[in-house]
Amino acid sequence: MEGHGHRLLERRTVFEGKVVRLYLDRVRLPDGREAEREVVLHWGAVGMVPVDGEGKVVLVRQYRHATGEALLEIPAGKLTPEEEPLSCAERELMEEVGYRAGRWVHLASFYTSPGFSNEMLHLYLALDLEEGEASPEEDEFLEVASVPLGHALELVKRGEIKDSKTVAGLALAALHLEGRYA
Amino acid sequence: MEGHGHRLLERRTVFEGKVVRLYLDRVRLPDGREAEREVVLHWGAVGMVPVDGEGKVVLVRQYRHATGEALLEIPAGKLTPEEEPLSCAERELMEEVGYRAGRWVHLASFYTSPGFSNEMLHLYLALDLEEGEASPEEDEFLEVASVPLGHALELVKRGEIKDSKTVAGLALAALHLEGRYA
C-alpha cells in the first residue's frame, strides 16, 4: 500500500468482520503532509452475465440489507481467500441459478469502490448454457428472471437495475456480442 | 433498511469516519433465523465521462491508497449530504480537469457494492466541452490524460483500466454515442 510518493505511516485495525475489515491508516502525502485514510478490505468477488441461446440474460432479485431494497443483479459470489475467480464463477453460476456454461469470456476486472475499498470484482460472460440444478446458500433468498439483453439495458436507463457489476456487465456484454469489445 | 421479510433487530455503530460509517446489524431473515450484516455507509458520489469534439475521453490518474496503486479513472467526486448529483458533477468536472460541459446526459445510477455498502454512484456523460481552469483539492495529486473512447475500452479489456464507474461509464457512453442506449 505504498507508491506514487504516498507512504503508510501507521495502520490501526478498527474492525474485523466476516465480509469486511476496516483499517484507519495514517499516510504521508507526496507533499510531505500527513493524512488519514479509511480502508475497507474485502476478499473480492465474481459476477457472471449468463446469456442464453435466445439472447436473454439470467438475472436474480435479492434483498440487499445495506441498501434497504431488493436489487435485480447478475448472479455473483464472494471469493474466498486464494480462490481462482473462474472456478468461483463456475460454482456460483450453478449454485445461484442452476446453469453450466460451455464458454466463458472474461469481460473485465475492477475495483468496485477504489476511494475507500480494495474489493476487486471479476466479470465474465457465460455462454452456451446448459441447465442443471440450483442450490442457493441457506441465507440467500433469490428470485430468478430472464430478460432480453436489450430490455435489461433499458432497465438500467430507467433506474430499475442499479448495481455496478450488473450495469458494467450488461453494457460490456452488449458491446462484446456486437463485436465492439473482443 | 427493512423489506422483503427482512427485519432490522439491532444496529451497532462500529466506526464513524470522514468517508464511511460502519454498522454491525443483527437482522431477522424471512425464514425466522437471525443473521449479522456488516454495513458500510457512504454519502454517494458522481462520475463523469467527458467526451471532447474529437471523441476523446478525459481521464485522470491518481494514487488510490485503499488499492495500493494508481488508477486511471473518469473524473469523479464525493457527494456531500443532500447535495444534488448534477451540481456536484458540474463542480467536480471543473475542479478536477478544468472543463465545463454544454450538455449532460445521465447514464445510470448504481450501488457500487450493494453486498456491504449503500454507496450510490451517479454517472453522467459530459459533452460540448469548454476549457476552463482546474483547481484540484489540496490532497488530490492528479495527472490528466485524453484517449479515444475506443482505445479506453481496449485499456479496460487489457486490465489497465480497473475502476467500476470508469468501466460502466465508458461502456455506456460507447452504447449511447452509437444510439444503442438513449
**Count of all residues that appear for chain A in the document:** 182
Asked if residue A45 has pLDDT above 70, the reply is yes
Domain that holds residue B19: 7-41
Query: Per the structure, how many domains does chain A have?
Result: 2
Query: Mean of the pLDDT values across residues A74-101?
Result: 96
Domain match, A53 and A130 both: yes
Catalytic residue status for A84: no
Distance from CA of A168 to the nearest CA of B (A): 4
The pLDDT, as a whole number, for residue A182 is 86
Q: What is the pTM of this model?
A: 0.96
Here the contacts of A150-156 (C-beta below 8 Å, separation 24 or greater) are A150/A174, A152/A57, A152/A59, A153/B175, A153/B180, A153/B181, A155/A72, A156/B108, A156/B172, A156/B181
B2 close to A63: Cβ distance less than 8 angstroms: no
Name residues 11-50 of chain B within 8 A of A (Cβ).
14-15, 17-20, 22, 24-25, 27, 29-30, 33, 35-40, 42, 45
What secondary structure letter does DSSP report for A168? H
The dihedral sign for the CA sequence B98, B100, B105, B110: positive
The pLDDT, as a whole number, for residue A1 is 46
The pLDDT, as a whole number, for residue A2 is 58
Domain match, A62 and A96 both: yes
Domain assignment present for B140: yes
Query: Mean of the pLDDT values across residues B113-118?
Result: 97
Domain match, B147 and B106 both: yes
Domain match, A49 and A30 both: no
Mapped onto helix, strand or coil, the DSSP state of residue A150 is helix
Chain B hits for A28, Cβ within 8 Å: none
Query: Mean of the pLDDT values across residues A14-33?
Result: 95
Rounded to whole angstroms, the Cα distance separating A38 from B174 reads: 34
The ipTM is: 0.95
Query: Mean of the pLDDT values across residues B139-162?
Result: 94
The pLDDT, as a whole number, for residue A137 is 78
Domain match, B55 and B102 both: yes
Cell 480494495 belongs to residue? A118
Pairwise CB contact (< 8 Å): B164 & A165? yes
Domain assignment present for A143: yes
Domain match, A71 and A149 both: yes
Query: Mean of the pLDDT values across residues A63-76?
Result: 97
Rounded to whole angstroms, the Cα distance separating A95 from A105 reads: 19
Tell me the β-bridge partners of B108: B123
Nearest C-alpha neighbor of B119 from the set B128, B131, B109: B109
Domain assignment present for B156: yes
Domain assignment present for B2: no
Domain match, A124 and A84 both: yes
Domain match, A86 and A17 both: no
Reduced DSSP (H G I as helix, E B as strand, rest coil) percent helix, strand, coil of chain B, to 5: 20, 45, 35
Domain match, B32 and B90 both: no
Asked if residue B49 has pLDDT above 90, the reply is yes
At a CB cut-off of 8 Å and minimum separation 6, what does A177 contact? A51, A55, A149
Domain match, A91 and A171 both: yes
The dihedral sign for the CA sequence A79, B153, A145, B118: positive
Compute CA B105 distance to the chain's CA centroid, rounded to the nearest angstrom. Answer: 15
Which grid coordinates belong to A148?
A: 432480453
Q: Return the CATH number at B73.
A: 3.90.79.10
Domain assignment present for A2: no
Rounded to whole angstroms, the Cα distance separating A59 from A82 reads: 27
Least confident of A23-32, B133-142, B161-170: B133-142
Domain assignment present for A182: no
Asked if residue B1 has pLDDT above 80, the reply is no
Rounded to whole angstroms, the Cα distance separating B93 from B136 reads: 10
Rounded to whole angstroms, the Cα distance separating A50 from A127 reads: 6
Chain A hits for B67, Cβ within 8 Å: 111, 114, 118
At a CB cut-off of 8 Å and minimum separation 6, what does A36 contact? A24, A25, A26, A27, B18
Of A37, A78, A162, the CB nearest to B65: A37
A43 close to A20: Cβ distance less than 8 angstroms: no
